[in-house]
């Protein structure tokens, strides 16, 4: 099955996932994302220790002065987080475009950013790739960059990788919900929420 723009005959709504209306799930994901931030940060520091021992041995990289002072460090943190979020959504959007050959929709909500293809119904396999692509692709790209960038850039790079990975918690939750749906399904992602459709299940 390929992405289509009209539901096949017999397909009905299975469920709708919308974190703007499910505040309990949104809060749970925020807390989980905070915990994952520390977990992924620890894992990526371990990766850096193996790939770039010069970074770990040079304690000066941890001082704000290395990045130009405290205010410069704050600026770097904000810009790095913004870049990680932007790249995350661009990767989503790139795969939406790859599958639909239509320009995706990008947007911002209260506390989140999104890429979407509201006019399309995507099969489960395609949607799983779209959902997992930023976590996998940007983590691999960051690991490769660790081998090439100067030591002064490693800390912001690790921070950006951590923001991206921890920020994937919403994607992982949605993927889990999609995987739980039995049989063939189609997913319509509108950005702020998505709806899963499938054939009527036997009673």
Q: What is the mean pLDDT of residues 154-180?
A: 94
Q: Write down the pLDDT at residue 87.
A: 97
The mean of the pLDDT values for the chain is 89
pTM: 0.88
Q: What is the mean pLDDT of residues 102-120?
A: 89
Check whether 106 has a pLDDT greater than 60: yes
Check whether 65 has a pLDDT greater than 50: no
Residue 3, CA distances (Å) to 49, 62, 123, 181 in order: 43, 47, 6, 18
- At 75, is the pLDDT very low, low, confident or very high (cuts 50, 70, 90)? confident
In 132-175, beta strands by DSSP E: none
Q: What is the mean pLDDT of residues 179-188?
A: 94
């Amino acid at each position: 099955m390929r992405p289509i723009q009209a539901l096949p005959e017999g397909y009905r709504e299975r469920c709708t996932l919308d974190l703007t209306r499910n505040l309990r799930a949104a809060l749970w994901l925020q807390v989980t994302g905070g915990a994952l931030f520390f977990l992924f940060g620890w894992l990526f520091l371990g990766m850096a220790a193996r790939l770039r021992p010069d970074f770990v041995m040079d304690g000066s990289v941890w001082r704000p002065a290395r990045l130009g002072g405290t205010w410069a460090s704050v600026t770097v943190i904000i810009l790095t987080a913004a870049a990680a979020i932007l790249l995350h959504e661009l990767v989503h959007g790139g795969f939406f475009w790859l599958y639909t050959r239509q320009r995706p929709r990008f947007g911002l909500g209260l506390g989140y950013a999104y890429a979407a293809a509201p006019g399309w119904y995507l099969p489960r396999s395609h949607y799983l790739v779209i959902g997992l692509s930023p976590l996998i692709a940007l983590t691999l790209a960051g690991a490769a960059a660790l081998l090439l960038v100067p030591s002064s850039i490693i800390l912001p790079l690790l921070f950006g990788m951590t923001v991206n990975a921890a920020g994937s918690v919403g994607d992982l939750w949605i993927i889990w919900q999609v995987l739980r749906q039995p049989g063939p399904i189609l997913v319509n992602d509108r950005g702020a929420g998505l709806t899963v459709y499938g054939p009527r299940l036997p009673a």
